[in-house]
Amino acid sequence: MVDTPSWSQGYVTDTGYTHGFYRELSPAIITYALRLAGRRAPDIDKPFTYCELGFGQGMTLNALAAAFPHGEFWGTDFNPDHAAQAKMMADGAGLSNLKVFDASFQDFAEAATPQFDFIVFHGIWSWIIPEARQGILDFVRKKLKVGGAVYISFNALPGWGPAAPLRHLLYEFGRTQGGGTVDKIDKALDFATKLVESKQGFFGSVGGLDKRVEQIRKHNRRYVAHEYFNEAWTPDYFSDIAASMGEAKLSYAGSANPLDGFDHLNLSATAKPLLAEAKDPIFREVLRDFLLNRQFRRDLFLRGNLTLPTQERSAQLLGTRFVLTVARSSIPEKVKLPLGEMQLKAEIYDPLLDALAAGPVMLSSLIGKPEFAKITPNMLIEASAVLTGLNYAHPVGSESLIAARKALVGRLNQMMLGQFLAGEAGDRLISPVTGSEVVASVNDRLFVEALQAKAKDPVAHAANRLTRLGLSLNAGEKRLTTVADIVPVLTGVYKTFTEKTLPVYKQHGIL
């Protein structure tokens, strides 16, 4: 067995977490989601303070500190490897507005820090012991400003209900095995597969476990270690979360996902009247979780939950600038929503997508234009929320903010490209325009690097890099591994890149 240090509180520490970026943690998205929910949000045009509890590798925290140089960013993660990685990125990118610590939540609640406008904890609450949850609540109660916002995500009931025993089994099996956490994962999954196939007892009475085991198998092992192999693992009903937050003087403000506020996009005709029977806002959320069988929630709470009057809400949302985060031609006509596939109505979405593709554009500037004659302000608000929720669009900062963040975000992107060239995984770059991610495949990043290096032949440059990294290019069934084989195929990929992705990167100030 690997010894677990006493400071770990039963949390996995022998395997680092993934290098994820979560745009829902951005002050831009949090304030936007609060406005959509009709709540008064902290003002991020002025200096503000922000704290992330349990930042993992610190990718999100670093990107946000670079994206909001007028904000003061703090964070803690008790895994010193995580804190060191986050600090290395901050130092490398020259982020003087970010302070990282390796304190536990309990200790951090006692530390000298400012009061915060935002406190966020993503992927934390369901995986920590009760004392650590109490540490978070103490921190929030002591350190959140009046009017401040909290973001919490957690594993939700009833969605997790049927499969929760499977996670317990994986964990308990793992405990009986030697070696590190990652070594236990495949053994535990093989054992679970055998049990599921046996259809004995529990395994015969709960459906879908075979699919779930296979899904877990496909995930990154670092993610699986942190999701399934901690001592603590407790899914919650929303009402219990609301009660805990209530103890820290917070009340429920709305979902952090811009799509969630539109019932007609989420609920069937049968579910809608059932939900309407819930008059209490907290019970309404609980019932929604039952009707949607949700397994995961992202929620926003406020300390002082002020309603945004309807007209002010509209004015703030229409006064928001947006831009597309992907090529216009990559956005399908039919999109996947919780309710199923939905056709994006051409009469609304075509002119809006055209405008956002040429953006950044403020929604209010579209009103009165001939192509928007039949589109009401509320339709614009909803359509932009749908595109933002689907990660096709993003709110945009002011021109002065974009100018202020450009050099810092540029340095962070350079660091990320450097890490990629040193063999680390990654799938994004940060946009100076939105302060959030844009998707960047391996090939995209190779081309960006080639163009930044002013390579005479970007395709050959990228092909050389690819082979030096020990990576291959997939062409149908074939895996191409030599420069000579890669170049002809990559030439076509580069053509598509220059037509679709490069204009987006240029618009976002990445190149």
Ligand X SMILES: C[S@@+](CC[C@H](N)C(=O)[O-])C[C@H]1O[C@@H](n2cnc3c(N)ncnc32)[C@H](O)[C@@H]1O
Binding-site ranges for ligand X (CB under 6 A): 9, 11, 17, 20, 22, 54-56, 76-79, 82, 104-105, 122-124, 127-128, 132, 226
Give the nearest distance from C-beta 134 to ligand X in angstroms: 10
User: Rg of the chain over CA atoms, in angstroms?
Assistant: 24
Give the nearest distance from C-beta 36 to ligand X in angstroms: 23
Give the nearest distance from C-beta 144 to ligand X in angstroms: 17
Residue partners of 206: CB distance under 8 A and separation at least 6: 162, 163, 165
Query: Could you check whether the bond before residue 130 is cis, i.e. omega within 30 degrees of 0?
Result: no
What is the distance between the alpha carbons of residues 442 and 420, in angstroms, rounded to a whole number? 9
Give the nearest distance from C-beta 138 to ligand X in angstroms: 12
- Which lies closer to ligand X via its Cβ, residue 17 or residue 447? 17
What is the distance between the alpha carbons of residues 75 and 108, in angstroms, rounded to a whole number? 9
Give the nearest distance from C-beta 82 to ligand X in angstroms: 5
Beta strand pairing status for 296-302 and 144-155? antiparallel
Residue 150's H or E segment, with its range, is strand 144-155
Give the nearest distance from C-beta 20 to ligand X in angstroms: 4
What is the distance between the alpha carbons of residues 507 and 492, in angstroms, rounded to a whole number? 23
- Report residue 145 as tokens: 């400003």
**DSSP 3-state assignment of 156?**
strand
- Rounded to 10 deg, the angle between the 399-421 and 59-67 helix axes is 150
- Which lies closer to ligand X via its Cβ, residue 84 or residue 276? 84
- Which lies closer to ligand X via its Cβ, residue 108 or residue 494? 108
- Which lies closer to ligand X via its Cβ, residue 52 or residue 449? 52
Give the nearest distance from C-beta 225 to ligand X in angstroms: 9
DSSP states of 39-107: B----SSS-EEEEEES-TT-HHHHHHHHH-TTEEEEEE-S-HHHHHHHHHHHHHHT-TTEEEE---HHH
